[in-house]
């Protein structure tokens, strides 16, 4: 079979799946490409859903990953509002919710992740929302505005961004976190403290160490969050933002190894040579950290989309990237590079009181592992370079503002 006949089916039309289709065409793939997606609209970017889109500052065209005309003009068949319900690896076919089957020569799984569910009384009340899709973002937006109060369950990035956007829309916001600090799983304590203070100064109430007993409502609509200490936090809407879980079931049911994500190598290959997996749904090698893990970020989705496309097109693999992420809240830009896996020392550079600083994480040998930068692009960019080089650098140099990041990173 020549490549020009080989059929690629991509399941999941999100950031990773849509990008893989685009990269395959950039890299010269000639065969048919079909992109199957559960959502009714073509691939779009999720980061604005909790930021510009929620605040009403972005339009549909800017949200779209590519314009609608891109798919026909690139000969990519889009099957929207359609989900894959099973993979028959022997027959090399995907069963669709429509009852059809789609034969493939290569399959790319780009299934993404979904909002984690809580088990609580009252979750089915109207006004209890999640934030993963544009449809959910629009529901949330409709619930916000002057005189409204949003309760966010979970102090992660998405929850904090939503709280900041709610404030921008004139609504009140309260963030309810089970751990003793917001961003407990994803940021260091100093950064958590900084964000808590900043949100409080912007009028957001932050409740930490809170156990939730139930969501309460009147006439089927949520009116409050009851804590186990008896307190009732009144609200008009609840956003449940307690993390995401990989959509791995389709792969697991087909006998592919999963470990909180579909297990892949650095070419995004699963153990089946005909199946790649990319994006939020994967459990992937983290070569800089000699480890494996799941990353939930756009840069990761793009890196793995390139890995898969390059592998299928017989191209050299893309240069490995340092994992990175950004988040915007109010006038704060947070940029994170690397992962603090095995960190032994944290170093502060800059001034948190001026909302311009970075926190570096070093291992016991003074190797830079990660940097969290607030309104500190040089620290982020310089840190990212040093992490990629696995550079060792003494904490006292990083702390010294008289040394420029450019010189330190050189």
Ligand X SMILES: Cc1cc2nc3c(=O)[nH]c(=O)nc-3n(C[C@H](O)[C@H](O)[C@H](O)COP(=O)(O)OP(=O)(O)OC[C@H]3O[C@@H](n4cnc5c(N)ncnc54)[C@H](O)[C@@H]3O)c2cc1C
Give yes or no for residue 342 binding other proteins (CB under 8 A).
Answer: no
260: left (phi over 0), alpha (psi -120 to 50) or beta: left
Nearer to ligand X, 151 or 281 (CB): 281
Tokens (6 digits) for 23: 């990269």
Q: Euclidean distance between the first and final Cα of the chain, in Å? A: 49
Report what 156 binds from other proteins, ligand X, none; CB cut-off 5-8 Å by kind: none
Q: What is the per-residue binding string for other proteins in 69-88, x denoting contact by CB under 8 A? A: -x---x--------------
Nearer to other proteins, 12 or 48 (CB): 48
**Closest CB 66 distance from other proteins, rounded Å:** 6
Report what 296 binds from ligand X, other proteins, none; CB cut-off 5-8 Å by kind: ligand X
Nearer to ligand X, 21 or 176 (CB): 21
Q: Which residues pair with 215 in a beta bridge?
A: 225
Report what 62 binds from other proteins, ligand X, none; CB cut-off 5-8 Å by kind: other proteins
Give the Cα separation of 226 and 214 in Å (integer): 5
Read off the DSSP letter of residue 234.
E
Give yes or no for residue 45 binding other proteins (CB under 8 A).
Answer: yes
**Closest CB 67 distance from other proteins, rounded Å:** 5
C-alpha distances in angstroms, 325 versus 7, 25, 288, 339? 33, 26, 16, 10
Residue 46 C-alpha from the chain's centroid: 8
Nearer to ligand X, 127 or 279 (CB): 279
Nearer to ligand X, 293 or 395 (CB): 293
Closest by Cα among 177, 212, 182 to 197: 182
**Closest CB 113 distance from ligand X, rounded Å:** 6
Nearer to ligand X, 46 or 149 (CB): 46
Count of chain residues binding other proteins (CB under 8 A): 28
In three-state secondary structure terms, 336 is strand
Considering only CA atoms, give the Rg of the chain. Answer: 22
Where would I find the H helices in 82-236?
A: 134-142, 157-168, 189-201
Contacts of 13 (CB under 8 A, 6+ apart): 35, 36, 37, 38, 39, 42, 43, 78, 80, 110
Give yes or no for residue 381 binding other proteins (CB under 8 A).
Answer: yes
Report what 37 binds from ligand X, other proteins, none; CB cut-off 5-8 Å by kind: ligand X
Nearer to ligand X, 84 or 312 (CB): 84
Where would I find the H helices in 179-278?
A: 189-201, 249-253
Phi/psi at 63 (5° precision)? -75, -35
Give yes or no for residue 30 binding other proteins (CB under 8 A).
Answer: no
Chain contacts with other proteins (rule: CB under 8 A): 22, 25-27, 45, 47-48, 62, 66-67, 70, 74, 298-299, 302, 319, 326, 328, 333, 335, 377-378, 381-382, 385, 405-406, 409
């Amino acid at each position: 079979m020549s490549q020009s006949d080989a059929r690629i089916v991509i399941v999941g039309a999100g950031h990773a799946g849509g990008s893989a289709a685009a990269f395959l065409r950039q890299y010269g793939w000639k065969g048919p490409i079909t992109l199957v997606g559960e959502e009714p609209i073509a691939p779009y970017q999720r980061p604005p859903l909790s930021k510009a889109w929620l605040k009403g500052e972005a339009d549909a065209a800017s949200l779209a990953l590519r314009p609608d005309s891109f798919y026909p003009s690139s000969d990519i068949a889009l099957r929207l509002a359609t989900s894959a319900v099973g993979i028959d690896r022997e027959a090399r076919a995907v069963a669709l919710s429509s009852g059809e089957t789609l034969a493939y020569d290569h399959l790319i799984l780009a299934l993404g992740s979904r909002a984690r569910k809580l088990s609580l009384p009252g979750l089915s009340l109207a006004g209890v929302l999640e934030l993963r899709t544009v449809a959910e973002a629009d529901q949330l937006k409709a619930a916000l505005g002057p005189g409204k109060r949003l309760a966010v369950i979970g102090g992660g990035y998405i929850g904090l961004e939503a709280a900041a956007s709610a404030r921008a829309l004139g609504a009140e916001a309260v963030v309810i976190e089970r751990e003793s600090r917001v961003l407990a799983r994803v940021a260091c304590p100093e950064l958590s403290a900084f964000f808590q203070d900043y949100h409080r100064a912007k009028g957001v109430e932050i409740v930490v160490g809170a156990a939730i007993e139930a969501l309460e409502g009147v006439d089927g609509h949520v009116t409050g969050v009851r804590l186990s200490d008896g307190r009732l936090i009144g609200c008009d809407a609840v956003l449940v933002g307690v993390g995401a879980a990989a959509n791995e079931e389709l792969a697991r049911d087909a006998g592919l190894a999963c470990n909180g994500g579909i297990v892949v190598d650095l070419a995004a290959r699963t153990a089946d040579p005909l199946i790649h997996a990319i994006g939020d749904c994967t459990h992937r090698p983290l070569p800089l950290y000699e480890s494996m893990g799941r990353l939930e970020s756009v840069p990761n989705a793009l890196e793995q989309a390139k890995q898969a496309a390059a592998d299928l097109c017989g191209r050299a693999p893309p240069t490995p990237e340092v994992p990175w992420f950004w988040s915007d809240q109010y006038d704060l830009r947070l940029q994170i590079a690397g992962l603090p896996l095995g960190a032994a020392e944290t170093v502060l550079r800059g001034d948190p009181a001026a909302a311009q600083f970075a926190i570096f994480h070093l291992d016991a040998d003074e190797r830079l592992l990660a940097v969290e930068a607030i309104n500190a692009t040089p620290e982020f960019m310089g840190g990212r370079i040093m992490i990629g080089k696995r550079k060792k650098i003494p904490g006292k140099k990083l702390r010294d503002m008289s040394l420029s990041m450019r010189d330190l990173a050189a």
